Amino acid sequence: MAIVESSSLRPAPAQAGSWLNNAKVRAVLYQILTLAIVVGGIWYLVSNTITNMSQRGMSAGFEFLGVSAGFNISFTLIPYREGDSYLRVFQVGLANTLLVAAIGILFATIMGLFMGLARLSNNWVIRNLARWYIEILRNTPLLLQIIAWYFGVFTLLPNPRMSLAWSDLFYLNNRGFYFPGPVPEPGFGLFLIVLAATVAGAIAYGVWARRLRERTGRILPVLWPVLGIVIAAPVLAFLLLGSPLAWNKPVLQGFNFRGGVNVPPAFCALIIALSVYTSCFIAEIVRAGIESVSHGQTEAARALGVKPSRTMASIILPQALRVIIPPLISQYLNLTKNSSLAIAIGFPDLVSVWMNTSLNQSGRAIPIVAMTMGFYCAVSLFVSLVMNQYNRRVLLKER
Amino acid sequence: MNTLSPPQAAHLTDTPDTVKVFVPAAARAAPSSTLGAAAWIRKNMFSSVPSAFLTILGIWVVYTVLNGFIGWAWTNAVWEASSRRDCLDKVGNAGACWPGVVVWIPNLIYGLYPKDEVWRINLAFALLIVWLVPLWLPRVHSKVAIGLSMVLLFPLFASYMFMGGEKGAIWTALIAVGLTGFLWTVLTAVTETLWGVPVLRMVARKFGATTAEAESRIGQVVLLALFGVALFIVFELDFVEVRTRVWGGLFLTMVISGFGIAFSLPAGIVLALGRRSKMPVISLLCTTFIELFRSVPLITILFMFNTMLPLFLPAGVEVNQLLRAIVAVCLFASAYMAEIVRGGLQAIPRGQYEAASAMGLGFWQSTALIIMPQALKIMIPNIVGNFIGLFKDTTLVSIIGLLDLLSMARAVGQDTLWIGLFIEPFFFITVIYFVFCFAMSQYSMNLEKRLNTGHKR
Amino acid sequence: MIRTLLSALAVTAAVAYAAPAQAQATLAQVKARGSLNCQVGPPTPGFYALASDGTWSGMDVDICRALAAAIFNDPRKIQFQSVTSAVRFTSLANGESDVLSRTTTWTAVRDTQLGLEFAGVNFYDGQGFMVPKASGVKSAKELNNATVCVLTGTTTELNIADFYRSNNMTFKPVTAENENVLVGTYLGGGCDAYTNDKSGLAARRSSFAKPDDHIILPETISKEPLGPVVRHGDNNWGDIVRWTLNGMIEAEELGVSSANVDQMLTSTNPGIRRLLGVEGNIGEGMGLTKDFMVRVLKATGNYGEIYERHVGPKTPINIPRDGSLNALWTKGGILYAPPFR
């Protein structure tokens, strides 16, 4: 009764005075209000900061980037000497972080794939080993794991004089891993051009082969020809150009090896810890991805007479990848961010060398924090852009 | 096999026209090769040559690791010693030196919290457990209300128990609100278990309320009375002040992650709704916030808040170190939570929104009554996962100098008596972290299985 | 021992917070609060060590205990705060602590530009190197091309870079922000030498399984006078800290200790009579009691007692005092308190 009354007697919306009830007007009001609060808040913080900084004689400028930093860095991908500027320190830290991330991602993916498959194994021992490997490593803090690996690496390796050597070229000891460093000689540029050309050619061939398959159904062999071209042509070019690459061998001198390339233990420990930790998450992603593809797909492929190898490559994997890739990329981002824990074992990554040492030595909190965060934001934004492209491409096309 | 009883069977065979009864031969026993432990082992461990090889390799790896580990942690370990020097004299580095960890356990758990006041922490956590128990009791129906009251009200009450000291009028009232929530939870749990009715309604009915309106009115009075009782109790309480600078150990780890989760859930919901909003300004602001905090490592946020928060605030405002860390952790956690909530909201079919709007529900009503309850259910495993991550990430606050579990473990190695002892305490806290995280992840998986019923298309 | 260079934050904090802090004199605040806020660092044996029962002790902690005794006649009325070296000056400047007593090196920049005031020196230290005996190294000059373990974010990192540059040698640093990690690296053979303040080296060496297998090289590559720090601007508070420290040194010179302080009250030596407040009135001039040094000496003892108790040869830290800079000026050191008159 009441309901009927209210609905039948409800007055027609009043023309005037009801603009507050208009959804659009209200939306605009809400937004103006929110914006005002946020802008006001930011203004408040900024004005406080400016007052505080001027009172304390602090400078938010970037002019300190040209000043000599005066400390040494234990591992640098790009050349650095003490006495170089803070800007150089930033670049060194950035390069180191990117290097750790790239290598860590490579190893984490390989290990994650294996562990994911082991988790699905028919073998009880392997299946449970993989399970406990994942459970233990996933449920303990990464910071503790990094420290543990760091000491693990030490206790297992001998000192420099008792190095594990392999044919005078490779040495492994508790100062790290030494191997010959390449020194380019004239003609090396040409070799690089040939290399790039063959890779580009191989990719073009692959794309053409796929198009041909999609258009006509004819299947051309891809893997072996491509591998052949990519390996054979550069090797040939290298020999023809007279081997334009010298090797700088590590030699034991006094306390340490000199020459060659040295990978310090902190770096090894960081890579192992990051890739092992991340591989646990990747393993679960891989497992979920493969389990997400319905068994009917395999059966259907078999019924159509598709070869088992091709079933995996052309039917199961593409479908599993659609489930696997997005969380996988977010794990890659996590790994990159987690590399900042290098500070605990003194590997000079961006946070350790820039946000800790440089900040302590120069005291320029604001520019240093802004540059560090800017770098991580840029990486993350770039990756999300790429991801969005990918997602658009693989989006399930429902008909 | 033959279901007929003998007399009937006899009767059947008597009649000449009936067909002969088919009596199947007894099934042959399964081949012995598929039975028993041996067969299981063959099938699951040695089904092929590579498989057998992997099995042996796996067993060898487990044996080596366990053998070395047990040797260090048990066989060669020292259990009685007065200092690290003692341990070193006994076994050198071959075995663990546990006494150092044992005498430090109170500090590892409570930090430097005054030992005379530690009972307050214990009591608060005991209350928390009492608050949690009804969530597992099958006969309790008000689980959502109890859960919410716990997340929102427990921090009010607990922070006073932990901090103590002077309490002004507002503070007193807030603590009493927290306590009221606790009393209500306990009473509700009792009445619902015994009589299946929440306490407020039961009291209302005792007073002869018949209509829903009367029930809710009397209910409010009862709640007010509970508040009065709580207020009385709070007035009686007088705790010595304990400054946050002495908080530490597992206790501090729990406080930080607890605040993180309690704050991040509502904040994450707001941010996620904001990001999905059709209003461009709000959506843009929320997206910026979420992406900014998600794209940088937690450690940079902690560093930033530790060094820059004093700059952001007017001169003279003191923000202690713990608060700085908690603010950083809360903002970080809510950005992650927002993405989880958004994922949950996206999983709700459009039809639900349309149906809610066809029923005449507005945005807030449909969100609160239709969408969120369904979305939250989907999100629970992810929320627990987020909490596990947060719990592990609290180790980073040691880098900015808070006395969390990791810092206390490091302090063991700096004790003059136990100087240099740090693998053992590290191992000990690793076990603590593992136990907590593993329990949570198992709970979450369990929950996932239970919630995975129905609603699946 | 972590000694960060100037954090400009601190500069600042000092100036910004000077006003509210000065509104009420530190001594009055401390008395009103009923306890002294003493800032130490992450536990470091000998200077601010944390025992398993949660109590702090050490050379630097005893400065705070002495202050609490002077003010309240109770060395336990202290609230300790442990912060990382990066924020120690900020924390002092914005009033979270009343005195910073944690092996902080007295430098010109810190004293003049960070809004801080150094109240004296309670330990003369210097950076040195420790190497395994088996390496055969006898001098730091032999460490060319060596790998050296160094704590990051501290002046040690800059000192060692300077040392190598001025001697035209090269080195490879292995850094970590945590001392446990770094010492583990050194013991595991991850570096040829470990550098830190010599007091820290001695403390560390005592924790090794075989301390005699390691030697501390004779060179000292830096000057590290360590002492308590207060906020700039409250001169009275600075005086209290300075003269409590000086009083402990003076007491040792005059032979007054915790054991004989009561007998010494009747001493005829005018120096002792002035120190203990029997004659003159130095204490009340600072807002304390006449006999504040009696309270201090009863609570913590004189400088020599503190030294022997926390870092002396009878402790695991084992830093010999005779002949070192930290001996009294009368015994070949440079420890010298201005006269109490």
**For residue B394, what is the domain's CATH number?**
1.10.3720.10
In a domain, B104, yes or no: yes
Which residue type is seen at A192? Answer: L
pLDDT in tens, A52-81: 777 766 667 788 888 888 788 888 888 888
SS3 B426: helix
Q: Residue A55: its chain B contacts at CB < 8 A?
A: 315
Residue C18: per-residue pLDDT: 40
CB C147 within 8 A of CB A256: yes
Task: Enumerate neighbours of C (3 or more CB pairs within 8 A).
Answer: A, B
CB B387 within 8 A of CB A137: no
pLDDT score of C254 more than 80: yes
- Asked if the Cβ–Cβ distance from B300 to A34 is below 8 Å, we say no
| Crossing angle between the packed helical segments A23-56 and C8-23, to the nearest 10 degrees | 90
Residue B88: per-residue pLDDT: 85
Q: Do residues B76 and B169 both lie within one domain?
A: no
**Lowest-pLDDT choice from A127-131, B117-121, C155-159:** C155-159
pLDDT in tens, B360-382: 888 888 888 888 888 887 888 88
Which residue type is seen at A218? Answer: R
Q: Does domain C127-222 have CATH number 3.40.50.720?
A: no
Mean pLDDT of A214-225: 79
ipTM of the complex: 0.81
Q: Tokens representing A271? A: 């890579």
Residue A176: per-residue pLDDT: 78
Distance CA A261, CA C249 (A): 55
pLDDT in tens, A235-261: 888 888 777 777 777 777 777 777 778
CB atoms within 10 A of CB B209: 17
Pairing assessment for the beta strands A170-173 and C171-176 based on DSSP bridges: unpaired
Residue A325: per-residue pLDDT: 85
More confidently predicted of B17 and B153: B153
CB atoms within 10 A of CB B67: 11
Query: Chain A within 8 Å of B62 (Cβ-Cβ)?
Result: yes
Where along chain C do its domains lie?
8-124+225-331, 127-222
pLDDT in tens, C135-154: 889 998 888 888 899 887 67
Query: Please, which residues 20-59 of chain B have a Cβ atom closer than 8 Å to chain A?
Result: 44-45, 47, 51, 54-55, 58-59
Residue B348: per-residue pLDDT: 84
Q: Nearest CA to A347 among A278, A274, A269? A: A269
- Asked if the Cβ–Cβ distance from A344 to B399 is below 8 Å, we say yes
Residue B1: per-residue pLDDT: 44
Q: Where residue B420 falls among pLDDT bands split at 50, 70, 90?
A: confident
Q: Do residues B103 and B87 both lie within one domain?
A: no
Residue A397: per-residue pLDDT: 56
pLDDT score of A17 more than 80: no
Mean pLDDT of C33-41: 91
Q: Tokens representing A94? A: 């950035």
- Asked if the Cβ–Cβ distance from B311 to A344 is below 8 Å, we say no
CB C293 within 8 A of CB C276: yes
Query: Chain C within 8 Å of B307 (Cβ-Cβ)?
Result: yes
In a domain, A238, yes or no: no
Q: Do residues B197 and B167 both lie within one domain?
A: yes
Query: Chain A within 8 Å of B288 (Cβ-Cβ)?
Result: no
> Which residues constitute the domain of residue B199?
116-241
Chain centroid to CA A60: how far? Answer: 31
Q: Where residue C297 falls among pLDDT bands split at 50, 70, 90?
A: very high
Q: Nearest CA to C36 among C57, C64, C61? A: C64
Dihedrals phi, psi of A250, to nearest 5 degrees = -75, 135
Distance CA B290, CA B268 (A): 9
Distance CA C281, CA C299 (A): 21
Q: Which architecture does CATH list for C8-124+225-331?
A: 3-Layer(aba) Sandwich (3.40)
* Cross-chain CB nearest to B399 (options A126, A148, A343): A343
Chain centroid to CA C230: how far? Answer: 13
Residue C8: per-residue pLDDT: 34
Residue with tokens 């430098």: C107
Task: Enumerate neighbours of A (3 or more CB pairs within 8 A).
Answer: B, C
DSSP assignment letter at C336: -
Q: Residue A57: its chain C contacts at CB < 8 A?
A: 8, 11-12, 15
Domain count, chain A: 1
Query: Chain C within 8 Å of A74 (Cβ-Cβ)?
Result: yes
pLDDT in tens, B315-357: 666 677 888 899 999 999 999 999 999 888 888 888 888 899 8
DSSP assignment letter at A159: P
Element containing residue A258 per DSSP (H, E):
strand A256-258
Residue B39: per-residue pLDDT: 82
* Cross-chain CB nearest to C175 (options A74, A361, A364): A74
User: Nearest-CA residue of chain A relative to C8?
Assistant: A363
Query: Chain C within 8 Å of B88 (Cβ-Cβ)?
Result: yes
| Crossing angle between the packed helical segments C235-254 and C292-300, to the nearest 10 degrees | 60
Q: Where residue C23 falls among pLDDT bands split at 50, 70, 90?
A: very low
CA distance B426 to chain A (A): 7
In a domain, B372, yes or no: yes
Pairing assessment for the beta strands A251-253 and C214-216 based on DSSP bridges: unpaired
To the nearest whole number, what is the mean pLDDT of chain C? 85
What is the separation, in whole angstroms, between the first and last Cα of chain C?
A: 35
Mean pLDDT of A184-208: 85
Residue B452: per-residue pLDDT: 64
Q: Which residues contact B83 (CB under 8 A, 6 or more apart)?
A: B417, B418
Domain count, chain B: 3
Q: Nearest CA to C330 among C243, C255, C270? A: C255
Residue B17: per-residue pLDDT: 64
Residue A175: per-residue pLDDT: 78
Phi-psi region of B48 (alpha: psi -120 to 50; beta: other; left: phi over 0): beta
Q: Tokens representing A199? A: 């890779």
pLDDT in tens, A169-195: 788 887 778 888 777 777 788 888 888
Residue A58: per-residue pLDDT: 65
In a domain, B3, yes or no: no
To the nearest whole number, what is the mean pLDDT of chain B? 85
Instruction: Give the whole-number percent of chain C exceeding pLDDT 70.
Output: 92
CB B233 within 8 A of CB B160: no
User: Nearest-CA residue of chain B relative to A368?
Assistant: B304
Residue B252: per-residue pLDDT: 94
Residue with tokens 């401390």: C30
User: Nearest-CA residue of chain A relative to C173?
Assistant: A74
Dihedrals phi, psi of B452, to nearest 5 degrees = -80, 10
Distance CA C328, CA C323 (A): 9
Query: Chain C within 8 Å of B430 (Cβ-Cβ)?
Result: no
Question: What SS3 string covers C172-219?
Answer: EEEEECCHHHHHHHHHCCCCCEEEEEHHHHHHHHCCCCCHHHEEECCC
**Lowest-pLDDT choice from B17-21, B285-289, B376-380, C169-173:** B17-21
Residue B138: per-residue pLDDT: 80
pLDDT score of B235 more than 60: yes
Q: Do residues B332 and B270 both lie within one domain?
A: yes
CA-only gyration radius of chain A, Å: 29
Distance CA A274, CA A349 (A): 14
Q: Which residues contact A92 (CB under 8 A, 6 or more apart)?
A: A73, A76, A77, A78, A80, A348, A353
Dihedrals phi, psi of A360, to nearest 5 degrees = -65, -40
Q: Where residue A15 falls among pLDDT bands split at 50, 70, 90?
A: low
Q: Nearest CA to B264 among B341, B323, B319, B324? A: B341
Residue B377: per-residue pLDDT: 78
Residue B11: per-residue pLDDT: 52
Residue A4: per-residue pLDDT: 42
In a domain, B51, yes or no: yes
Mean pLDDT of A108-136: 90
Q: Distances from the Cα of A358 to the Cαs of A64, A352, A355, A369, C113, in angstroms?
A: 11, 9, 6, 11, 19
Residue A94: per-residue pLDDT: 93
Element containing residue B403 per DSSP (H, E):
none
Distance CA B171, CA B310 (A): 25
Q: Distances from the Cα of A143 to the Cαs of A131, B25, B398, B399, B401, in angstroms?
A: 22, 66, 10, 10, 15
DSSP assignment letter at C317: S
CATH number for the domain harbouring residue A367: 1.10.3720.10
Q: Residue C84: its chain A contacts at CB < 8 A?
A: none
SS3 A183: strand
Distance CA C94, CA B425 (A): 34
Distance CA A191, CA A182 (A): 14
In a domain, A45, yes or no: no
CA distance B228 to chain C (A): 33
* Cross-chain CB nearest to C43 (options B245, B414, B420): B414
Residue A294: per-residue pLDDT: 82
Residue B10: per-residue pLDDT: 47
Q: Do residues B120 and B187 both lie within one domain?
A: yes
CA distance A36 to chain C (A): 29
**Lowest-pLDDT choice from B390-394, B418-422, C55-59:** B418-422
> Which residues constitute the domain of residue A332?
86-180+249-394
Q: Which residues contact B201 (CB under 8 A, 6 or more apart)?
A: B215, B219
Task: Tell me which of B48, B64, B98 is where a domain ends.
Answer: B98
Distance CA C90, CA A161 (A): 47
DSSP assignment letter at A62: S
SS3 A116: helix
Chains A, B: CB contacts within 8 A come to 148
Strand partners, A171: A165, A178
pLDDT score of A138 more than 70: yes
Task: Tell me which of B197, B222, B241 is where a domain ends.
Answer: B241
Residue A98: per-residue pLDDT: 94
Q: Do residues B401 and B437 both lie within one domain?
A: yes
Composition of chain C by helix, strand, coil, percent to 5: 45, 20, 40
Pairing assessment for the beta strands C171-176 and C193-197 based on DSSP bridges: unpaired
pLDDT score of A6 more than 50: no
Q: Do residues B360 and B424 both lie within one domain?
A: yes
- Asked if the Cβ–Cβ distance from B429 to A144 is below 8 Å, we say yes
Q: Tokens representing B88? A: 């070193």
Distance CA B89, CA B83 (A): 10
Task: Tell how many helices (H) and how many strands (E) occur in chain B.
Answer: 19, 0
CB atoms within 10 A of CB A260: 18
- Asked if the Cβ–Cβ distance from B51 to A122 is below 8 Å, we say yes
Distance CA B228, CA A226 (A): 81
In a domain, B257, yes or no: yes
The highest-confidence range among B7-16, B187-196, C325-334, by mean pLDDT, is: C325-334
Q: Do residues B175 and B253 both lie within one domain?
A: no
User: Nearest-CA residue of chain C relative to A358?
Assistant: C153
Residue A169: per-residue pLDDT: 77
Q: Distances from the Cα of C51 to the Cαs of B83, B287, B418, C54, C58, in angstroms?
A: 12, 48, 9, 5, 10
* Cross-chain CB nearest to A265 (options C160, C177, C190): C190
Q: Where residue C21 falls among pLDDT bands split at 50, 70, 90?
A: very low
CB A254 within 8 A of CB C145: yes
Q: Do residues B103 and B121 both lie within one domain?
A: no
Distance CA B400, CA C1 (A): 16
**Lowest-pLDDT choice from A183-192, B175-184, B226-235, C259-268:** A183-192
Specify burial of residue B301 (Cβ count, 10 A radius: 0-12, 13-18, 19+): buried
Sign of the alpha-carbon torsion through C273, C279, C281, C284 = positive
Q: Distances from the Cα of A134 to the Cαs of A138, B309, B351, B428, B442, in angstroms?
A: 6, 38, 39, 20, 13
Task: Tell how many helices (H) and how many strands (E) occur in chain A.
Answer: 14, 8
* Cross-chain CB nearest to A49 (options B55, B312, B423): B312
In a domain, A189, yes or no: no
Residue C16: per-residue pLDDT: 40
